[in-house]
A and B are shown apart, each in its own frame.
Chain A
Amino acid sequence: MAKKLMKGCEAIGEAAVKAGCKLFFGYPITPQNEIPEYMAHRLPQVGGTFVQAESEVAASNMIYGAAGSGERVFTSSSSPGISLMQEGISYIAGSELPVVIVNIMRAGPGLGGILPSQSDYFQATKGGGHGDYRLLVLAPWSVQEAADLVQDAFDLADFYRNPVMVLGDGLIGQMMEPVEFKPERTPCKPLAPKEWAATGCSGDRPTNIVNSLFLDPEVLERHNQKLKAKYDRMVRDEVRCASYGTDRPYDVLVVAYGTVARVSSTALDDLRGEGVDAALFRPITLFPFPHAELRAAAEKAQEVLVVELSTGQMIEDVRLALEGRKPIHFLGRQGGMLISPEAVAEKVKAIQASSAEVRRG
């Protein structure tokens, strides 16, 4: 198929349709309204169903029920709406059901504002809802990558029987870029028939039950350990990351995800002519976080700079990855204010200058 010019939200919607998603339940919120709008228009064309729920709480329970039937199910929202969905998401994880959730982050906390942010990193990667569960979290930096990751998200959700979140800052949802969908797409995981699905039982097989209630503590502990083993497999098999400029020697390693990584890569391009040696490391999976890959990339650097549209959330995973091996600096904006390539470049230059001074002694 030839390329089209798409907003991130439209590309995300079309990606879900291309992945065979027939069911969308959601509730509008800026800056991702174009996703439900697209699905409302598009799903009837492919024999699917769009339901605007009465709230995000209801939407998350609708995706819970629909996922139990084994269909590919999708919802999207933005930060405050994702907060409302947390109860349902915890139940979905506990019941081991595959759903795809897109969060186009806006600035918080509370109602906050409608401009871009990355302040839901903790919520996405460290829980959000109650209980010992994890989401597999994918973070695109372009509209094309958003389209690709949403399609992969459905395969990953089915493979692990676990909710998968695609986490984009507001820019990912609203900016336009050329996008291409491949006509024949191979799933990114081998997919087994959904023999667990609750599709109605005539007595010819044992009853399939969707459940997250385990009153017997021994049984519930075994369930938690089974989930943990699943998350361990994600950590072993699903880490994705990218780097930029790491093929040359560098003093400063910038770590950023989403569109902030795009801003940082522009900053590094600008710095190249100025004798500043810096490279970029970009986590694509936020859970599982690329600890070992980041550690390896940081080995060649003197200093590490984390850039985020928050007061510092991913930086905690960077600290865990580096275990004190390198000094870690931070640059962040909040409230919907963006970081410019110039601000990143200035910070990198300042870090490199002070680092060189220290080494000279």
Chain B
Amino acid sequence: MTTFDRRPDACAALAAPVVILVGHFGSGKSEIALNLALGFRARGEDVSIVDLDVVKPYFRCRQAREELRARGIRLVAPAGEHAHADLPIILPAIRSLLQRPPGRVLMDVGGDPVGARALGSLSDAVVPGATELLVVLNFLRPYTETVDEAVEMVRAIETAARLRATGLVSNTHLLAETTPATVVEGVQMAEATAARLQLPVVAAVADEPTARGLAGRTLPCPLLVLERLIRPPFEGTREQRKVGPLFVLN
């Protein structure tokens, strides 16, 4: 049993049936989408995860196909050899999932405005009120290092997606070198960005060791405790590699 199977409460803050994750390239969308999918599933929900990543060639949700199936999560992504193609494939099933979600639908959109453009082609199928469009921010990534840059990134993504963001997710981290202070400073910058954009920060993200270090501190938003599922093959303990989770490369 992995950590996420034991943590059914991480997703409580999100009520909308459709949750779309957008953001800068490398901001953590796929990792958060997979964690949310597993979290919602652990709460007993019917979960679909849509891999609309037309930007990065590796580390996409589709590469966890078997692991997701084993957990009863529906994956909507190019299959067969097209799963490994660097082609902007948009499956027709996505449109109906957005309009008539059978349960919870999570969508992992490719990074940057370039990736959000694929979402733009589906924007007419997005049901306002039933959809959260969350922008993931990591202030330790190039091009979203300041509040100004983050505001610019959010606006550019909104333009490309032809949709308005409904909230921000604070995901400032340095992988294994993340400290509780990293998360707290990231949340402060996300709050400043949110104030400029008149949006809420719907969640802060931290991995389990960092979350333990945050115990006793009050954050202005719910904390999503994340298990790092997307890892290169040399990382993690033997036990972690054995139980899954979703090492996402072939």
Contact = CB atoms under 8 A, between A and B. Distances in A.
A263 B249 CA distance: 14
A115 B241 contact: no
B218 interface: no
B57 A114 contact: yes
B100 to A, nearest CB: 34
A259 B143 CA distance: 27
B26 A7 contact: yes
A321 interface: no
B56 A5 contact: no
Interface in A3-35: 3-7, 10, 14, 30-31, 34
Interface stretch (B115-123, B195-203, B229-237): B229-237
A178 B177 contact: yes
Contact of B175 (A177, A262, A341): A177
Contacts of B250: 115, 336-338
Nearest to A270: B238
Interface in B80-121: 84-86
Contact of A31 (B58, B141, B142, B175): B58
B130 interface: no
Nearest to A339: B233
A340 B233 contact: yes
B249 to A, nearest CB: 6
Contacts of A178: 174-175, 177
B177 A4 contact: no
Given A30-B86, A259-B234, A341 B174 contact: no
A266 B58 CA distance: 21
Contact of A176 (B84, B145, B175): B175
Contacts of A7: 25-26
A297 B215 CA distance: 48
A291 to B, nearest CB: 26
Nearest to A6: B142
Contacts of A14: 142
Nearest to A262: B234
Size range of the chain B interface in the assembly: 20 to 34
B42 to A, nearest CB: 27
A174 B57 contact: yes
State the majority secondary structure of interface residues on A: mixed
Report which residue of A5, A41, A339 has the largest number of chain B beta carbons within 10 angstroms of its beta carbon.
A5
Interface in A238-291: 259, 262-263, 265-266, 270
A177 to B, nearest CB: 7
Contact of A342 (B26, B175, B241): B241
Contacts, number: 83
State the majority secondary structure of interface residues on B: loop
Report which residue of A41, A263, A266 has the largest number of chain B beta carbons within 10 angstroms of its beta carbon.
A266
Contacts of B210: none
A5 B173 contact: yes
Contacts of B143: 41
B138 interface: yes
A170 interface: yes
B125 interface: no
Interface string B5-38: 0000000000000000000011000000000000
A263 B233 contact: yes
Interface string A94-131: 00000000000000000001111000000000000000
Report which residue of A178, A259, A265 has the largest number of chain B beta carbons within 10 angstroms of its beta carbon.
A178
Contact of B56 (A115, A174, A338, A342): A174
Contacts of B25: 7, 34
Contacts of A113: 84
A229 interface: no
A340 B235 CA distance: 10
Contact of A4 (B142, B232, B238, B241): B142
Interface in B158-190: 173-175, 177
A263 B142 contact: no
A175 interface: yes
A340 B232 contact: no
Given A30-B86, A31-B57, A338-B249, A5 B174 contact: yes
B59 interface: yes
Contact of A259 (B138, B173, B175, B232): B232
20 contacts: A3-B177, A4-B142, A5-B26, A5-B138, A5-B141, A5-B175, A6-B142, A115-B58, A115-B84, A115-B249, A170-B57, A171-B232, A174-B59, A176-B26, A177-B175, A262-B234, A263-B233, A337-B250, A339-B233, A342-B241
Given A259-B232, A341-B234, 10 more contacts: A3-B177, A4-B140, A5-B140, A114-B57, A171-B58, A174-B57, A178-B177, A266-B235, A337-B250, A339-B233
Interface of B: 25-26, 56-59, 84-86, 138, 140-143, 145, 173-175, 177, 232-235, 238, 241, 249-250
The 8 closest A-B pairs by CB, nearest first: A262-B234, A30-B86, A266-B234, A263-B234, A174-B58, A178-B174, A31-B57, A5-B140
